[in-house]
Amino acid sequence: MTTSRTTRCAGSLAWGFLIAAVIAAGCSSGGGGSPTPGQAGHAGTSAAAGTTGAGTGGAGGGTAGTAGAGGTGGGFTRVGVCAQRGMATATATNYDGYEELTLIGDEGLGDPVCVVRFTVKRVGNAPAGCTDCSWTQLLEYSNPMTLTNVEGACANSDLALDAAAIANIDGSRVAIGFAREYQGAHGSARMKYSDAMMKWDVYGNATWDEATSTFRYEYRDGLCGY
């Protein structure tokens, strides 16, 4: 696997890579000295072709550097779907469960190639304003566990769940809620509060059994390369 970018479908999250290739010219003394071969060009990344190294030298002239290899289109060779899914025991005043960040292979039709699970528990009240919600919670992520990581797909993919990214999620907080048949829809929704937009919005399909307090949800974030 390589580390580049595949175009995603609509979703909450988007990443990108900025690529630069810098080729240094070789150097030698002037006059009748032996020419110094130029440096080899760097291999191209993304879809761009590699650059060609330049050579300089003495009277005989330098040998041109070799051309870098062309990059692979888009970088990743396979396409999956990034998703979030979870389950909890939830009431108006309690939430105890887990969330999994996943990469599902074969454009979302195959088996998961990455699954990282976090414990998720209530730590306080969510911001007001979700008038369609049966309940809302302020939750905190903890205890990350990598359950599946086929060929290093967690880090080497658009999901980009390396050790630093997982550590950054650990201890973070999110406000979520449950809206039954949101705005007249046949299905129910998991709601999420955006701190940047300062509002609630739909963030996946959900079910909640009030009798057993069982809450489940899934949110597919779009295509992910790996």
On whether both 130 and 212 belong to a single domain, the answer is yes
130-139 pLDDT, tens per residue? 999 999 999 9
On whether both 106 and 39 belong to a single domain, the answer is no
Which residues 6+ apart lie within 8 Å of 179 measured at CB? 130, 132, 133, 134, 188, 189, 190, 191, 202
80-97 pLDDT, tens per residue? 999 999 999 999 999 999
Q: How far is residue 210 from each of residues 91, 191, 207, measured CA to CA in Å?
A: 8, 17, 10
Residue 2 lies in a domain: no
Q: What mean pLDDT do residues 94-122 have?
A: 97
- Residue 38's pLDDT is 38
Are 99 and 88 a contacting pair, CB within 8 Å?
no
- Residue 170's pLDDT is 98
On whether both 44 and 133 belong to a single domain, the answer is no
138-165 pLDDT, tens per residue? 999 999 999 999 999 999 999 999 999 9
Residue 31: is its pLDDT beyond 80? no
On whether both 150 and 182 belong to a single domain, the answer is yes
Are 16 and 5 a contacting pair, CB within 8 Å?
yes
Last residue of one domain, picked from the residues 75, 98, 124:
75
On whether both 60 and 112 belong to a single domain, the answer is no
Amino acid at 218: E
On whether both 27 and 114 belong to a single domain, the answer is no
